Amino acid sequence: MNILVVDDEHLALKNIERAIRGALPGCAIFCFDAPSGALAHAEKNRVDVAFLDIVMCGMSGLELAKCLKEICAQTNIIFITGHSEYAIDSYSVPACGYIMKPASVHAVLRAMDHLRNPVITTDKKLRVQCFGNFDVFAGAAPLHFPRSKAKELLAFLIHKRGASCTTRELIAVLFEDKEENDSLRKQIQTNISVMMKVLKDADAKDVIIKRFNSLSVDTAKVDCDYYRFLQWDMAAVNMYSGEYMSNYSWAEFTAGHLDRMFI
């Protein structure tokens, strides 16, 4: 479950974060002290539940809630306030309720019992971001690849959406314009080993399907914005802003194809 928390008061922000962690251990919590940062995050990431302070400098929590709903109508909104008179105003936006400050574990659990939209739980091993630069996350933490080619290797396998890739094809893509030789074959094997080590450390080794002289991705084990876009998931569609794996030149054709889907 991905949770967004926004409050421009630092102590209040920390308080609600502690209460949420106590009520919902294991969820991914993203905290912001300004609505602008929260909106930037929501544009690129699914938000299941948003806990929003109603009174903030600049954009109010009510205005922020409307913006979040425009990005993804399925986002559940829970307002946080230190003033009970603002609770009535919170219902001008479809919301699940409100929590009085200081937040408590009990108050969070009570609010979560009244979510308007179901939170889709997933057994996906990894969250993959293809829009913008390519990145991979286990929970909320990005995976670190000690070799850039190992990360690019995974990117290409994700890009192929479960299709098998031979060693020769991987060499042609990762070492473009270079003729296949023993040195490149050794390099690709090294990068495969590095990629598998990173995935194993993230308890996601089974995301990769290995067969004789071929690799592929088990698409059922990854939550990928690109895959969801192709299924016309509106949250993923809203995330796309014209960039697809922009750190890799071989992905440029796909970005053009995605652009044409909007025409």
- CATH number for the segment(s) 126-260: 1.10.10.10
- CATH number for the segment(s) 2-112: 3.40.50.2300
Lowest mean pLDDT, pick from 22-36, 46-60, 73-87, 146-160? 73-87
| Structure confidence at residue 241 (pLDDT) | 83
Within the chain, all domains assigned CATH 3.40.50.2300 are found at 2-112
What pLDDT band is residue 45 in, cutting at 50, 70 and 90? confident
**Stated pTM of the model:** 0.61
What pLDDT band is residue 141 in, cutting at 50, 70 and 90? confident
pLDDT at residue 205 is higher than 60: yes
Give me the DSSP letters along 14-83.
Answer: HHHHHHHHHHSTT-EEEEESSHHHHHHHHHHS--SEEEEESS-SSS-HHHHHHHHHHH-TT-EEEEEES-
Residues 6+ apart with CB under 8 A from 29: 3, 5, 17, 20, 21, 140
Angle at 77 between CA 96 and CA 94, to 5 degrees: 65
Averaged pLDDT for residues 174-188? 90
Share of the chain above pLDDT 90, in %: 51
What pLDDT band is residue 168 in, cutting at 50, 70 and 90? very high
Q: Which two tokens stand for residue 118?
A: 């179901």
